[in-house]
Structure 1
């Protein structure tokens, strides 16, 4: 099982696997507070990203949450919150 903490590097990897990257977008830069839309990721790409996160980390993410998150920072925080809830229940 993957680490119990979801990081920006984890998100970058999954974003690339799920939807690739637009030309001219540097995912390796400081993107924590960039809006997903400005990074080239629309709602469908985020739903696919969320689905991959759920499968890989064994958590459930609310579809509404995935449509509401605006930045990598907020998505990472939501994933880590879900991971914490799963670990607390175990």
Structure 2
């Protein structure tokens, strides 16, 4: 099970959902830019969240997706969910 989800992981998932040439660069410098400014509309954010749920076996609600409007917020959300899975797996 993946323990940490980073910028490169997010860039890869977004690019696979939206297309490499259709999305701005997700990097340390753009962590706080809105996904919309990076070329990722709300429908694409839902597609990204669905892909993350399928590949990482995390649960992301519609409300979570609406709140995760920047790469930083999405990374925090995914890592929070991964941390919860790890805690469940360790019995804590």
Is it true that 1:68 corresponds to 2:77 in the alignment?
A: no
Counterparts of 2:84 and 2:26 in 1: how far apart (Å)?
A: 28
Corresponding position of 2:22: 22
State the Cα distance separating 1:6 from its structure 2 match: 0.5
Give, in angstroms, the shift of residue 29 of structure 1.
Answer: 6.7
Residue 34 of structure 1 deviates from its aligned partner by: 1.0
What's the TM-score, normalizing by structure 2? 0.86
Measured in 1, the distance between the counterparts of 2:25 and 2:87 equals: 36
Could you tell me the TM-score, scaled by structure 1's length? 0.88
Which structure 1 segments of 5+ residues have no match? none
Structure 2: distance between partners of 1:4 and 1:67? 24
Would you tell me which structure has more helix in proportion to its own residues? Answer: 2
Q: Work out the CA distance in 2 between the residues paired with 1:42 and 1:63.
A: 14
- Structure 2 unaligned segments of length 5 or more: list them: none
Residue 80 (structure 1) aligns with: 79
RMSD of the alignment, in Å?
A: 1.6
Q: Partner of 1:52 in structure 2?
A: 51
